Amino acid sequence: MKTPDQTLAPPRDGKATGRPKPSLRARLLLMMAVVGPGIITANVDNDAGGITTYSVAGAHYGYSLLWMLGLVALALIIIQEMSARLGVVTGKGLADLIRERMGIRATLAIVGVLLIANLANTVSEFAGVAASMEIFGISKFISVPVVAVGVWLLIVKGSYKFVERIFLVASALYLTYGVSGVMANPPWMEVLQASVTPTFHFDSNYIIIVVTIIGTTIAPWMQFYQQASIVDKGLRVEDYAYERLDVIIGSVFAVVIAAFITIACAATLFKHGLRIETAKDAALGLGPLAGSNAAALFALGLLNASVFSAAILPLSTAYVVCEALGWEAGVNRNLKEAPVFFGVYTALIVLGAGIILLPIKSLIQAMLASQTLNGVLLPVILIAMLVLINDRELMGDYVNGRVFNIISWAMVVVLIGLTALLVITSVFPNFLT
Amino acid sequence: MHLLSQLLGRPVRGETNVPLGTLDDLVIRMEEGPYPSVTGLVVRAGRRRFFVPANQLRELSGVALLSSARVDLKQFQRREDEVLLGRDVLDHQIIDIAGHRVVRVNDIQITQVDASFRVVGVDTSLKAIVRRAGPRALADRIIGGQIIDWANLHYLAGTAPVRLKVSYDRLADLHPVDLARIVDALSLRESATIVAALDDETVAETLEEVSDSRLADLIEGMDQERAADILEEMDPGVAADVLEDLDETVAEQLLAKMEPEDAAEIQTVLAYDEDSVGRIMITEIVRVAEGSTVGAALALLRSLDEVPNPLLAIYVVAQDQPETLQGIVRLRSLILADPATPLQELMDEDMPTIHPDEPAEQAARLLAEYNLLAIPVIDEHEHLVGVVTVDDALAVLMPEIWQRRSSRMFH
């Protein structure tokens, strides 16, 4: 195992202790080691709520919402880049930083917001489980409890790491939308034109879908999750350039998939004036690729995404709550050592699954509503991140530049504006028209 | 007794009750004894923050009362080794040494001792959170919760944005299992700071108990010379497990930096499968040539530089062939026998043995079945290569202990 050629090599630039400049291979290896948190987070992002939202956006609004996705991608990159920068510079999780720099009241408010958003998301994941299994004719009263218990055991018994890779590989099922979108043979000129032509309507359904798209693509849990993975991997400022690349690739990938889901559904459902009422309707978006197997393929993809996120979200939430309030956390602790950790984790799964078992008229509506809530809550997290990243004592020279700040604060203003519009148009449907 | 959360933001008045501003923070020095004293106040008046030395502070209840009305209004500048209680301690993580856990500081207790004010404890309870976040009327009804004595706390050096000298003696005295628990609970960066401050042996013992992924991250993140030194101190079986978790090139570089003897030992172990007997056996055993007496064997044991731990038996081997096992003499027989007795008389020749490629569980089963404390490991060349002790086998039989050490999850 000795490498004699290395020991014989003369010391570079006369300094025997100096770190040699990494070779191309070493740099590639480093990049592979670093590339991860951003791409994985983006992958989890296309969960039940995401797939449903993009399908509905395509089926009900055709290509007319595509222009938004470019802006959403930009916003996603900006936000996830800040989370990555906070992580590599401070070595601390987002909840940690909020507690240390912003005090107890802000912490409680933000943890509260995240608990609500993530409960809604967990509900939507179980709605995804129920919807996908209904395609196979399995009642939600069987599928939801089985998956809830399964997911709980998977994490608590510590076998999650092993299954994670299977989930990740199975995520490639999203790519079928890309193929399907192409095979549907949409009018590409029209698609392209719609992608660059902003349109906007002041009716409440339209504003809801806009907020929902933003909320599902830039969900509040993502920043906590990504930053935690970065900190856990021990990435440092030196790795920042690679990590930023990881974030950009992940974000672009997530949004391209979103665009293809929208296109596939627009080219099939919207063209024929069909509306999505159940998961089976959404499956028709895969028709051009899978034909009569579309429903099965869609169900498998949705099930995988739902179970994957149903495992991660409650766990990530439990970590955030404990991290912020100073309780012990970790699956390698026992119930007595970490009661709050297991309590939050279990409660989210039980509530998330339980709510779906209530008589709910439309699972699709349940999934959409949870994503709208994400969008409404997002500005709170965003403001906290902006406060932290501009804290010079914390970030040193890595604070935001001026342009970056202007864009970020503009984003906050737009998001709050949209939420306000959403409330106004919901309460007074004819207020603006 | 004062609580920091109830002091911050309260008015600061000078000698004749002149209002000077509000209390922004308290400054302490870490190095002074078990209970650091408050060295000064940071007072806010409008946009200005200025420093008032503690010797001007007369009273701290409700309002902070100064002994003079004259203060230096120069903008406050933090000096090296100065820690701000509100900014750098409150709401931050701290190690509860006696409880072996990482807790968050929800409030800080300050007491007047003679003329000075000292930090005496930290409140980590939920009550303190409610007291601080809830309405004042509610807050006044909730008094203390879990107060941890400051002397039992370890302040994390990386928390304050200044360079701090922090003593790690009390952490180093912890049992490795307890210290490992703390290392696992902290963020990777904080745990690396602690590992960097402790000596090789303590680190090796601690890391043997840390979760696999944290261990790999820590080893990969540290200086390679140091990593090699620590691996040398570890049990070869554990070191082999660590190296397997690392990037292959890094593992090779580390092996090359280790003492050739230690590296060779680890490479021998690495040749065996994970979860095999070869991985859990210990290779440090005492071999005595046949024909020796009890007295000679005891003299040999006493002359050893390093005596295996645990020492359960000595292994009688053929003259000139230390690989060939003739039999074992248990420590109990050895101590009770007359020094002149030949070892042959005490020797057990008919004991079960095990091959290094067998699953570790098999060794555990044999130990339990035959009521043994150790079982010799004999390879295909009939060579004695090590022993599996009941200690090592226990870890195999108790999977929950292994689970603790297994994966540390992402957040």
A215-229, A277-291, A408-422: lowest mean pLDDT where?
A277-291
B409 to chain A, closest Cα gap in Å: 7
Distance, CA of A228 to CA of A251 (rounded, Å) = 17
| Residues in CB range of B156: below 8 A, 6 or more apart | B92, B93, B94, B95, B166, B186, B190, B193
Share of chain A above pLDDT 70, in %: 88
Q: Residues of A with CB below 8 A from B99's CB?
A: none
Check CB contact of A29 with chain B, cutoff 8 Å: yes
* pLDDT at residue B394, rounded to an integer: 79
ipTM value:
0.77
For chain B, residues with pLDDT lower than 50 are 400-411
pLDDT confidence band for A85 (50 / 70 / 90): very high
Closest residue in chain B to residue A396, using alpha carbons only: B161
Residue with tokens 């936000």: A79
Chain B residues whose beta carbon lies within 8 Å of the beta carbon of residue A316: 411
CA A391 – CA A398 distance, rounded (Å): 9
A391 touches chain B (CB under 8 A): no
Amino acid B402: pLDDT: 45
CB–CB contact A104 B189 (8 Å) = no
CA B241/CA A336 separation, integer angstroms:
30
- pLDDT score of B407: 40
Run of H or E residues at B51: strand B48-53
- CB pair distance less than 8 Å for B91 and A103: yes
Minimum mean pLDDT among A10-19, A284-293, B5-14, B154-163: which range?
A: A10-19
- The residue-averaged pLDDT of A248-266 equals 89
Closest residue in chain B to residue A155, using alpha carbons only = B409
CB contacts of A3 in chain B (<8 Å) are 252, 256
Nearest to A63 by CA among A301, A264, A293: A264
CA distance B275 to chain A (A): 18
- Does B408 reach chain A within 8 Å, measured CB to CB? yes
Q: Alpha helices, DSSP H only, in B198-247?
A: 200-207, 212-221, 224-233, 236-245
Which pLDDT tens digit goes with each residue over A126-149?
A: 999 998 898 888 888 999 999 999
Contact of A3 with chain B, judged by CB distance below 8 Å, is answered with yes
- Class of domain A37-427 (CATH, top level): mainly alpha
The rounded radius of gyration (Å) of the Cα atoms in chain A is: 22
Binning pLDDT at 50, 70 and 90, where does residue A42 land?
confident
Residue A103 has which token pair? 């005090």
Q: Domain segments of chain A: what residues? A: 37-427
Q: What is the mean pLDDT of residues A352-373?
A: 84
A328 touches chain B (CB under 8 A): yes
Query: Given B192, B405, B407, which is nearest A161 (Cβ)?
Result: B407
B93–A326 C-beta distance less than 8 A = yes
Mean pLDDT over the full length of chain A = 82
- The mean pLDDT of A336-341, rounded to a whole number, is 88
Question: Can you state the percent helix, strand and coil of chain A, rounding each to 5?
Answer: 80, 0, 20
DSSP secondary structure of A308-359: HHHHHHHHHHHHHHHHHHT----TTS-TTT-HHHHHHHHHHHHHHHHHHHS-
Place of tokens 């018994």: A157
Interatomic CA distance for residues A283 and A290, integer angstroms: 10
Nearest alpha carbon to residue B145 among B104, B94, B106, B89: B106
Most confident residue range from A44-53, A110-119, A276-285: A110-119
In chain A, % of residues over pLDDT 90: 24
Residue A3 has pLDDT above 50, yes or no: no
| Nearest chain A residue (CA) to B256 | A2
Higher pLDDT, A408 or A270: A408
pLDDT average, residue stretch A395-406? 90
Cβ-proximal residues to A49 (8 Å cutoff; 6+ apart), any chain: A121, A124, A125, A128, A216, A219, A367, A368, A370, A371, A374
Q: Which domains does chain B have, with CATH numbers?
A: 2-154 (2.30.30.240), 169-271 (1.25.60.10), 287-397 (3.10.580.10)
Give Cβ neighbours of residue B39 (< 8 Å, ≥ 6 apart).
B27, B28, B29, B53, B54, B82
Which residue is associated with the tokens 């200005």? B48
Residue A422: pLDDT over 90 = no
- Do A9 and A23 touch, CB atoms closer than 8 A? no
Asked if A83 and A276 count as a contact pair (C-beta separation under 8 A), the reply is: no
Question: CB-CB: which of A92, A108, A326 is closest to B104?
Answer: A326
Q: Which of B106, B187, B211 sits opposite A231 (nearest CB)?
A: B187
pLDDT at A89 over 70: yes
Mutate to test the interface with B, among A100, A157, A345 (most CBs of B within 10 A): A100
* pLDDT tens profile B12-21: 888 888 888 8
Cis peptide before B310 (omega within 30 of 0): yes
For A190, the enclosing helix (H) or strand (E) is helix A188-196
Say whether B410 and A103 touch across the interface (CB within 8 A).
no
pLDDT at residue A20, as a whole number: 42
Contact A18/B at CB under 8 A: no
| Yes or no, beta carbons of A161 and B408 under 8 Å apart | no
